[in-house]
Structure formats: structure tokens, C-alpha cells
Amino acid sequence: MCSNLGHKNKAVIEAICEQARKLPYIAPSFTCDARADLTKLLLEVFPPGLEKFFYTTSGTEATEAAIKIARLYTGRYKIISRYKSYHGSTAGSIAATGDFRRIPVEPAGKIDGVIFAPEMDLYRSPFGFEFENRAEATANYVEHMIRNEGNVAAIIVEPVVGTNGVLVPPKSYLPRLREIATKHDVLLIADEVMSGWGRTGEWFAVNHWNVIPDILTTAKGVTGAYEPLGIMATTREIAEYFESHYFAHGHTYEAHPITLAPAIAAINEYRRLDLINAARKQGEYLGSQLESLKERHRSVGNVRGLGLFWAIELVKNQKTKERFFEPEDKLAGKASVLDRIAVELMKKGVFVQSWLSHFIVAPPLIVSREEIDEGIRAFDESLKIADELVEES
């Protein structure tokens, strides 16, 4: 899900070599051509209003910068995240992670002040039952938290949740969160590390709902993963606060020229190859093919996604939606039937991420129909392993 441009994009490779010849490193207190040129390009592709950029070397560090900025700017310290989320692996970012990866590092390896809201999951309601106005109620609960907690600085969300199952929210959900954040003067942080750069068929997933966050973090696809670059983007108003307040968040490789030059090339390639539209178009085809797996395989419980960002969730029982694998199994180091399927897929030359009871299907944006068909064929053969383990409902 980060190799958006595939492996051998000549323009990106050349940009890295050229930058290495021209200026392989400069301290972050200096600017350089690559930094200026990339910043200008970002102003064209980021949601309007996000116009100040802090360059990191990972999504994790972008989350750290976002949390720090939200706390310093608002003078408050609580961060609302959601259970089905991942925001990175360092102390602040793992603390903001709702999924089971946070649990083994508690309490020593994380920061305080993060509280969790329910996720917006249409297949598995965290409330245990389904009700009509789920989107509204799930968002409204965040407002309830803000009111009752006090000291809330920010809400952090993946607009389309990634590893935790490609959860695409109903259309009212994110606009409602935006409304709540604005009303309570709380910052909205969109973590687009996975969902950005065309993955969902827009430059950034928030564009689907015309939501502009106060902070947007991203990484992965910005260079097509050819070099490790993360970005924390924010508004001029928030950034200006730090003109007169010290922002202690520097690091040696911040705005490293060799990470910036390939981002320029990658953005130019997204445009030249029209990959944002391709993601939308090929995504529709991929989605329809994945949906068809559901008809042929009794282990497929749910298929969901947007653009070239999809999940296939497997269940032991269609009626109870019992999963094949639980977070506790993962923490205990067990292998799952999904891992076995992933091995079969790999033997057929298809790599997908198996995660608990779902697969993440996120091919490069240059994927062809033939390659999608090849992947679907591989799934058709390999899913039989799980089909045999399904209980009658």
C-alpha cells in the first residue's frame, strides 16, 4: 500500500540519483531547491488551507509532530483517537493507536492523555447491534467525550481506516466530526499515511467528503516509498503560532534532500500517468471482482473499500460473523489461516497483507486489469483453505 508507483519508475529513481549528485545532505535549518520546489507542488495537491509543511522521515514522526503541535497550540493535552486505528510506533503515536499493538507497550512505552472513541465500522458495530443513524451517533459520541473529558486538544482519525480493515465511513461521518471539532475549538488531525496519494481515488481521502482538517499527516505514497519521507501539514494560522513559540521537534534528517527530490518526481508521475483517476477507475473494477469472490466463497464475510484500497474480511460463520483470528492470537504469536492463504497467494506471485481476519488489497496505482484478474484468480484458488473451515450458519 505504499508502492503506489510500482518498483521501477525511472523518473523517481533518476530524481534520487540526481539529488545525490547535486546535494546529498543539508542541515534542516537551510532550505534547498528540492525543499522549495516540493513545497510549491504540495500547495497544489493538498487540501486548500493546509499550507505549512514539516518534513519527517516517516508517518510515525509525522504523527508525533501532529500531537505535539496540537498540544502546544491549544494548551490542552488530551487526544481523542479511535479503537480501530494505527498511527505509528513511537511513544506518542503508539499511544494514539487504538488497536492491539498498543497493549504490549503499556504503560511504560506510551504517553498519557489519549482516550478512545468508537470506530465507524459498518460491518461490526462496536455497540453490538445495528441501528439506523450509526454515523451520526458514532460522531456525536465524540462530542459527548469532548464535553465530559475537558482538556481535549485534538481528534485524530484515519479518514479511511487502513490496517484495521479499510473502514470507509458513511458520507455524513467526517463532515460531522469536522463540525464538532470546530464547535469545540478542538483540532481535527487526518492521518493520511495510508489513505493519501491517490490510494482512494483522490489525492487525499478527506477530499471525498470535502473535509479540511487542521492537520494532515502523510508518508508512504508521497515518494511511492522510494525514500522515507513523512509530512505533517497544517494551516498558516497554526503554523504562525510557532513563529513566536519554540517548536522543539527537529531532527538531523528533517527535510532531507534525498527524500524530497523523489517526492517531486512522484507527484509529477501521478499527474503524467493520471494515476488518481486510474485508481478510481481500476478501483471500481477491483471492487467488483472482489465482491464476486463473496458470491463464490463462503468464508468471505465482507468486502469493502474505495479506489484501490480494499479489505476482504473472512468469517467462520456468516451469521455470527465470528472471526478466524483475534488480536489475542496475534499477540500470542500464533499463525492464522489467513497467513496460510497469504503464503499460497505468494506462491502464485501475489502479495497481500493478511491482518487478523482480513486481507488488505492495495495494489500499486499502475496496476492493470490483467494483473487484477491474476490476483483474483489467485484468491479464488487460495480461499478454498478458509472455505473448508466455515461452519454452517
Ligand X SMILES: Cc1ncc(COP(=O)(O)O)c(C=O)c1O
Respond yes or no on whether the N-terminal peptide bond of residue 107 is cis (omega within 30° of 0): yes
Nearer to ligand X, 30 or 351 (CB): 351
Q: Please, what is the minimum distance in Å from the beta carbon of residue 157 to ligand X?
A: 10
Question: Residue 163 or residue 282: which is nearer to ligand X going by CB?
Answer: 163
CB of 373 to ligand X, least distance (A): 27
Q: Which is nearer to ligand X, 162 or 386 (CB)?
A: 162
- Closest approach, Cβ 101 to ligand X, in A, equals 10
Give the shortest CB-84-to-ligand X separation in angstroms: 11
By beta-carbon proximity to ligand X, the closer residue of 9 and 58 is 58
Query: What is the binding site for ligand X (CB under 6 A)?
Result: 58-60, 63, 86-88, 158, 162-163, 191, 193-194, 219, 230
The residue (of 158 and 313) whose beta carbon lies closer to ligand X is 158
CA 199 to chain centre: 9
- Tell the smallest beta-carbon distance from residue 209 to ligand X (Å): 17
Strand pairing of 114-117 and 78-82? Answer: parallel
Cell numbers at 19, concatenated: 539529488
- Which CB atom, from 88 or from 113, has the smaller least distance to ligand X? 88
We find the least distance from the C-beta atom of residue 228 to ligand X, in angstroms, to be 7
Report in angstroms how near the CB of residue 21 gets to ligand X at its nearest: 27
Q: Provide, rounded to whole angstroms, the least separation between the CB of residue 164 and ligand X.
A: 9
Contact (CB, 8 A) for 190 and 223: no
Nearer to ligand X, 230 or 315 (CB): 230
- Residue number, nearest CB to ligand X: 59
Whose Cβ is closer to ligand X: residue 143's or residue 197's?
Answer: 197
Nearer CB in complex with ligand X: 72/362: 362
**What is the smallest separation between the CB atom of 362 and ligand X, expressed in angstroms?**
10
Residues 6+ apart with CB under 8 A from 24: 257, 258
